[in-house]
Structure 1
Amino acid sequence: IPNIPVDARWSQNGETVAGGNGEGNATNQFYHPEGLFIHDDQTMIITDSFNHRIVQWKMSDRNGKVLVGGESYGNRLDQLNRPTDALIDKETDSLIICDRENKRVVRWSRRIDTTEGEILIDNIYCWGLFMDDQRYLYVSDTKKHEVKRYQVGDKNGNIVAGGNGKGSDLNQLNFPAYLFVDQQQNVYVSDWSNHRVMKWNKGAK
């Protein structure tokens, strides 16, 4: 987590660093990009959802590089279907991807010779992912309206936010989407259909 000074100031205008060439499936285009992960070397990992692919884009590049998917959507282990988020597991040098419409979380090695992924978690309507410093994987489930924490390789996980049915009470979520976890393992959730951002302290029920 970056240490940003309290008096930091930002430019009043942004700049396009990836895409910006209209909707499409060329390597300089996106079609509804969703999740975004920035690696330590400033390489961006972009979940290009409606193109069913994961794209790597370096800050100075004019075109991205397709890392996973992109040929056609499907449920084979070399395909994705409407992915919504991705991150890099630095310890294994692999991508972990929320393959939403296939109802699974998959892992792809970043080695050049990788031709298909492996299923880490299945039967889950995932949307957002986060991995903390201890390599716990957090996954939001928009059907069960909960966030679970997993050890990599564990298919069950433990509920850390929501899990009390769909609703707007303070112990409930309604379509939890993207996630952030701070160094104290407090979980922040974009609670999409409740139009709010929730903080769940570590150990909250």
Structure 2
Amino acid sequence: MLAVTAAIALPILLIKSPTETTQGFSGTYWNVTGVTYAGNGTRGTALNQLAAPTGLFITSNDTLYISDSGNWRVVAYLPNAASGSIVAGTGVGGTSLTRLASSGIRYISVEANENIYISDTYNERVVRWASGGSTGVIVAGNGTGGSSLNQLDYPYGLWVDSSLNVFVSEYQNYRITKWVPGASVGVVVAGISGSSGSTTNLLSGPTGLYYDEANQNLYISNTGSTNTVMKWRVGDSNGTIVAGLAGSSGSSSSQLNTPTGIILDQWQNIYVNDRANSRIQLFCNGSSTGVTIAGNGAGGSSLSSPYDIKLDSQYNLYVVENTAHRVTKFAKL
């Protein structure tokens, strides 16, 4: 793998664990030096290259699925592989169900049988691509942008739960919709369709999405003017801000600027892809102050338009760098 920075590895943070008391923490932290893990940093169509990647999903066996948006495909990288394989799309953009949008796709989700769900953003739909299949099937939206409940408008974040319900963050409709298997219409489960704002009953350009199924809580990145991450229990009419200051973008430890991808670990710590600040922020459970664990401010390392983040089974951190055409790994120490 290729080194991304020459920063010295330092212990960054002590993460809260289930056995934590007020006097102690569990000792987990990351190397601040990243390595190129997927792609080679040069835009291209070869299977060891990526082009403007956006979304990322890591399975339980640590296979990486990557939205290779600029190549109109999804590629899979087995652990430590030097190149990927095409698992969805043809490498040619289009509107047919054998192709993905010419102007780009966003986030992806992969269920237990390794069927792939894709936010086919500019085609205004979510498609399911069966493992080993050569075509997609529409599971949300109807391929035309709009605010009716049979439509999507700029689908972005995506989560598929254990019952194969599909949750979609709609950037332009300011809402999260849930689509049960086989449904032709969705149900709004967070936000108010067509209304954007910074109050706790509204969303603003929602992108990143994480579903804590056990507690029925959605975690949502507000990428618009609000610049927050919200926790929203499915069925409630309001959410709660858990990271960022509503309506205040910035680079302080309590602020975010264009947050996109988000994840949680088993201790409910929140990891945020703070895109416009070119950094990854970690907010320990219950804390409104973030700590930079990768990117600007972390040992001098830098990220190039980070878009999405995931953790593997060993808590190594992976970051999609959109304009560097790669996925970068920050090893857990």
Structure 2: stretches of 5+ with no match in the other structure: 1-58, 63-77, 196-202, 289-333
Q: Secondary structure at the match of 1:127?
A: strand
8 Å Cα contact 1:167/1:173 also seen in 2: yes
Given candidates 10, 19, 27, the residue that maps to 2:80 is 10
Deviations 1:64-90 (A, max 9, x none): 111112431111110011110111232
Offset of residue 181 of structure 1:
0.6
Matched residue, 1:155: 237
Q: How does 1:51-200 map to 2 (within 5 A)?
A: 51-91=123-163, 93-110=164-181, 112=182, 114-122=183-191, 123=195, 124=203, 125-134=205-214, 135-142=216-223, 143-163=225-245, 165-200=248-283
Deviations 1:108-157 (A, max 9, x none): 111x3x22111112241211100125232100111211001121111312
TM normalised by structure 2 equals 0.57
8 Å Cα contact 2:154/2:170 also seen in 1: yes
Classify 1:3/1:53 alpha carbon distance in 2 versus 1 (closer, same or farther; 3 Å). Answer: closer
1:203 equivalent to 2:286? Answer: yes
Instruction: Specify the structure having the higher radius of gyration (Cα).
Output: 2
8 Å Cα contact 1:21/1:28 also seen in 2: no
Given candidates 11, 30, 36, the residue that maps to 2:108 is 36
Structure 1: stretches of 5+ with no match in the other structure: none
CA distance in 2, matches of 1:71, 1:184: 38
Deviations 1:17-64 (A, max 9, x none): 111331111112111110111111111111011100000012200111
CA distance in 1, matches of 2:274, 2:160: 24
Corresponding pairs, count: 199
CA distance in 2, matches of 1:128, 1:20: 26
RMSD over equivalenced CA pairs, Å: 1.8
CA distance in 2, matches of 1:41, 1:59: 7
Q: Answer 1 or 2: higher relative contact order, Cα 8 Å, separation at least 6.
A: 2
Q: Secondary structure at the match of 1:50?
A: helix
Q: Secondary structure at the match of 2:155?
A: coil
8 Å Cα contact 1:28/1:64 also seen in 2: yes
Identity %: 29
TM normalised by structure 1 equals 0.90
CA distance in 2, matches of 1:3, 1:65: 25
1:45 equivalent to 2:117? Answer: yes
8 Å Cα contact 1:140/1:148 also seen in 2: yes
